[in-house]
Structure 1
Amino acid sequence: MQKTLTIFDLDDTLIKGDCSRIWAQFLVHKGLVLDPNFLDEEQRLMDLYAQGELDMSVYLQFIMAPLAHLTTQYIDNLADQCIGEYILPRVYPEARELLKRLKKTKQTTMIISASMSFLVLKIARALGVEHAFGIDLEVKDGCYSCAIEGVASYREGKVIRLRGWLGRQDCLYVNLHFYTDSINDVFMCQFVQQVNVVHPDSRLSALASLHDWPKLYWKAPVLSPKQLLASL
């Protein structure tokens, strides 16, 4: 059987904002990180990501170090709260409608994100997306470490993870559709059959113009004052 697979990047594609950035702000908000320079350094690293120059292992070391003493269960509970209160309200309304249409027509959907899987998998489940990959972290003594388990779903790693998944399926996915905002996903764009860019960064926008990829500019979700954690 031949099928279509619709794949989404997560941050700044399905949601307005980056869930890793929101998570960092949430940790400060909860008093789990007291370093006054934490968010500034996190922003510096995210700026490197936007430029396609981030060393993901450096970012993970930074973002996970304050949580090294917390159990996976405790972090997972925190993730549930962060996602429910601050991330899901940021889903683009058009993204929700698209996911509903795909589900109604029984299309297979997937999220592949460079954010941590303990966030990505929960977000995908909440959105009704069947399959999801984030960056998996090794667990040591019941706690998440900063060490990557397997291949990181970042840049070329997204294609590697997707290829592995496709090779394990009983059916043949001949049409791969991909939605993204970031130049970091150029490798995925080259791998799939159809690309749609969502609020693309400048370099991805130029590439989209070159290849005639549709550019989507979705209306921002309306947030209440209590949901504006990112303004911290």
Structure 2
Amino acid sequence: MKELVIVDIDNTLIKGQSQKVLLRYLYNKKMVGVFYFSRIYLWFVLYKLGLVKNPRIVLEYAIRFLRGKRVLGIQKLIKEFAVHELPPLFFRGMLEIIEGHKRAGRKIVLVSNTIDALVKEIASMIGVDDFIALKLEIKDNVYTGKVSGSLVYGENKYNVILYYLYTHKDISLSNSWAYADHTTDEKLLSAVEHPYAINPDSGLEKKAAAKKWPILKFNLLQ
């Protein structure tokens, strides 16, 4: 059985919220207007603070601009964004941890509520094969502007990992690792043998300290 390594993205692997960085990129390219940009930017901040009661409504509003756009065109745009904008935002310390797990032959899975097209590019950039992300609904090779399936957020991160294990019989939670930053990731971290709080928010930092989980804080020079 392969050992599993679960890695969150925002503020764990990458500094800040990757979708917020993408939003600014789209705004600079004049693909979204100032009102839309300002409103979604604020919602992303509130979402990260856990102050949004129904994240699905926020996320579906955020991706509404994709409605009617062809998948290949958006994927090309996101690839260009990832290649040009994301490299300076990766935490070197987290990349080194991932490389260590690769050398040990462990299965690494990125888990994030970030849109799947972006997570796919992030995974490719760091040489990771598998990811679980927010799926966008597609019909006839065109985005509908809606979310497909459940969110990969809070306690549901734990549920999607259970489903992943159900569909990958050669992988086990035994002697597994997880790296995350947010207090809503507590259930996921509690499920593994080696939980790590990475750049934790105040809620997770308190919980990690109480449970004696390792706490790692990276900056962009590490």
Structure 1 residue 23 and structure 2 residue 22: aligned? yes
Task: Tell me the secondary structure at the aligned position of residue 118 of structure 1.
Answer: helix
- Aligned residue in 2 for 1:228: none
Structure 1 residue 158 and structure 2 residue 157: aligned? yes
Q: Deviations over 1:169-219 (max 9, x none)?
A: 232511221101111212212322221111111111111111111110113
% identity of equivalent residues: 25
Aligned runs of 1:4-153 on 2, under 5 Å? Answer: 4-34=3-33, 36-54=34-52, 55-153=54-152
Q: CA RMSD in A?
A: 1.7
Counterpart CA distance in 1 for 2:171 and 2:21 is 37
**Structure 1, gaps ≥5 residues long:** 223-232
Q: Runs of 4 or more off by more than 3 Å in structure 1?
A: none
TM-superposed CA distance for 1:153, in Å, is 1.2
TM-superposed CA distance for 1:53, in Å, is 3.5
Mean alpha-carbon deviation: is it higher for 153-162 or for 107-116? Answer: 153-162
Q: Is the 8 A contact 2:91 2:218 kept in 1?
A: yes
Q: Deviations over 1:62-119 (max 9, x none)?
A: 2212221321111100100110011132111111211211111211111100111111
Mean alpha-carbon deviation: is it higher for 22-31 or for 45-54? Answer: 45-54
* TM-score of the pair, normalised by structure 2: 0.92
**Structure 2, gaps ≥5 residues long:** none
Q: Is the 8 A contact 2:176 2:193 kept in 1?
A: yes
Q: Is the 8 A contact 2:71 2:142 kept in 1?
A: yes
Q: Residue 93 of structure 2 aligns to which amino acid in structure 1?
A: E
Counterpart CA distance in 2 for 1:22 and 1:64 is 14
Counterpart CA distance in 2 for 1:41 and 1:30 is 17
Task: Tell me the secondary structure at the aligned position of residue 63 of structure 2.
Answer: helix
Task: Tell me the secondary structure at the aligned position of residue 169 of structure 2.
Answer: coil
* TM-score of the pair, normalised by structure 1: 0.88
Q: Deviations over 1:34-57 (max 9, x none)?
A: 2x2333322321222223233222
Q: Is the 8 A contact 1:197 1:214 kept in 2?
A: yes
Aligned runs of 1:183-194 on 2, under 5 Å? Answer: 183-194=183-194
The alignment covers a number of residue pairs equal to: 220
Counterpart CA distance in 1 for 2:216 and 2:81 is 27
